[in-house]
Amino acid sequence: MATPEHCTSFERSAHRYLRAYPRRWRLSKEAEVTAVLADLAGPGATRLDLRSGAGLVVNGFRTRHRERPPLHLLAAYRIFGRRLPPRYRGWVRDDIEGALLGFRQMVWRFSPMIFAWVVVPLVIGHPVAWNLLGPYFLLLATVTAATAARRRRTEAGRHLVPGVDEPFGPSDLARGWILRDRVRARPMLGRLACAAAVVAAIATPMSIGGARWVQPVALAVGAAIAVLAGRRLRRVVPRRREQGARRMVDHGTHWDAAIVLGAALLIGLASLWGQVAVAISASAVALLPVLVVAWREAARTLGELALVDVWTIGATGQVSPVDRVVKGIFAPPMDTGTELAQ
């Protein structure tokens, strides 16, 4: 019989191949299939053999293809946001909850523009206007990444809540009152501070020579704001209110992507135009001390501090109002429950 170490490395090996299957299929069957693979491999197996793995990959993609809606329905869903029939609700839930939803939508909705502005010029030998298209696509990508969570909620409300005359299925969501999600301050502020430092370091040398006085002034202004914000945070944070209707969440990888893309966009713009470099480097230099002080205060706070608290207290000197439950959507437990006697 396989030892726990062998099972773990075998499971990891099997899970890599099982990624070919759709997400919800893996959620419901991964443990069961891994057990069958382990039984077939025999005791002492530390990894899945290549032939079995190839079989899983082929069948995984066949399963994806089988469950995918036909092209005309898929195009209507992607481009016009049309609801798919209930039998594709599981596929839709995978699509909405999967990574890169926004980018998949972007590719479909902007494909005519990409075809006209990039593919056609390349085919006919005309130069592509990358100095305009580059920043434009980078801006689109940054906004797409930053709004990923909001888009996911909107799409889920549009596509995953069954209509009045539709039965409730296992992939469906329900509307109801939910806790208010708030992003944790410390990780987000740390990342923003790093991005500001990188942008300041790269954009400052790109500033046109006569405007070198701007950065020291920006640093002084930023430092003054940082001192004021720091005092407010130290004074007001201990008095913050209990937030029973709040749920603290991590900022999510989409925000990491948005910060990186945004920094790349700013550096790109700074490299194109010297005057813009002055404004960008001054803004980054001014923001840096504010972000560092806010991050330090959030790190020193007992208990978790939300980003909205840091903003409200730092900007106004007042405690944040108490969050209330909000209308939202959630996945109800699929317990059949008990029908009450009439």
Partner 1 sequence: MSEQAYLVLLALAQEPRHGYGVVQAVKEISDDRVHLGAGTLYGILDRLVAAQYAEASGEIVVDGRLRRYYRLTPSGRDVLTEETARIAGLAARAQRLLAPAGRLALGGA
Bridge partners (DSSP) listed for residue 184: 306
Asked if 224 touches partner 1 (CB under 8 A), the answer is no
For 8-12, the CB contacts below 8 A with 24+ separation are 9/46, 9/47, 10/37, 10/38, 10/41, 10/45, 10/46, 10/47, 10/48, 11/38
Q: Is 32 in the site for partner 1 (CB under 8 A)?
A: yes
The structure tokens listed for 132 are 């305009």
Q: What are phi and psi of 90, to 5 degrees?
A: -65, -45
Q: What are phi and psi for residue 330, nearest 5 degrees?
A: -150, 165
Contact 305, 239 (CB under 8 A): no
Q: Does 29 bind partner 1 (CB under 8 A)?
A: yes
46 is a site residue for partner 1 (CB under 8 A): no
User: Considering beta carbons, is residue 3 or 275 the nearer one to partner 1?
Assistant: 3
Q: How far apart are CA 304 and CA 162, in angstroms?
A: 36
237 binds partner 1 (CB under 8 A): no
The residue within the footprint of partner 1, chosen from 6, 15, 16, 52 (CB under 8 A), is: 52
How far apart CA 132 and CA 129 sit, in angstroms, is: 6
Q: How far apart are CA 106 and CA 100, in angstroms?
A: 10
Task: Choose between 12 and 234: whose C-beta lies nearer to partner 1.
Answer: 12
Which helix (H) or strand (E) segment holds residue 61: the answer is: helix 50-67
Q: Among 35-43, 241-249, 254-262, 301-309, which window interacts with partner 1 (CB under 8 A)?
A: 35-43
Number of residues that bind partner 1 (CB under 8 A): 22
Does the protein bind partner 1 through residue 56 (CB under 8 A)? yes
Asked if residue 27 binds partner 1 (CB under 8 A), the reply is: no
Candidate segments 25-33, 220-228, 236-244, 305-313, binder of partner 1 by CB under 8 A: 25-33
147 near partner 1, rule: CB under 8 A: no
Q: What's the min distance (Å) between Cβ of 331 and partner 1?
A: 20
What's the closest the beta carbon of residue 76 comes to partner 1, in angstroms? 24
**Which stretches of the chain bind partner 1, using CB under 8 A?**
1, 7, 29, 31-33, 35-40, 51-52, 55-60, 62-63
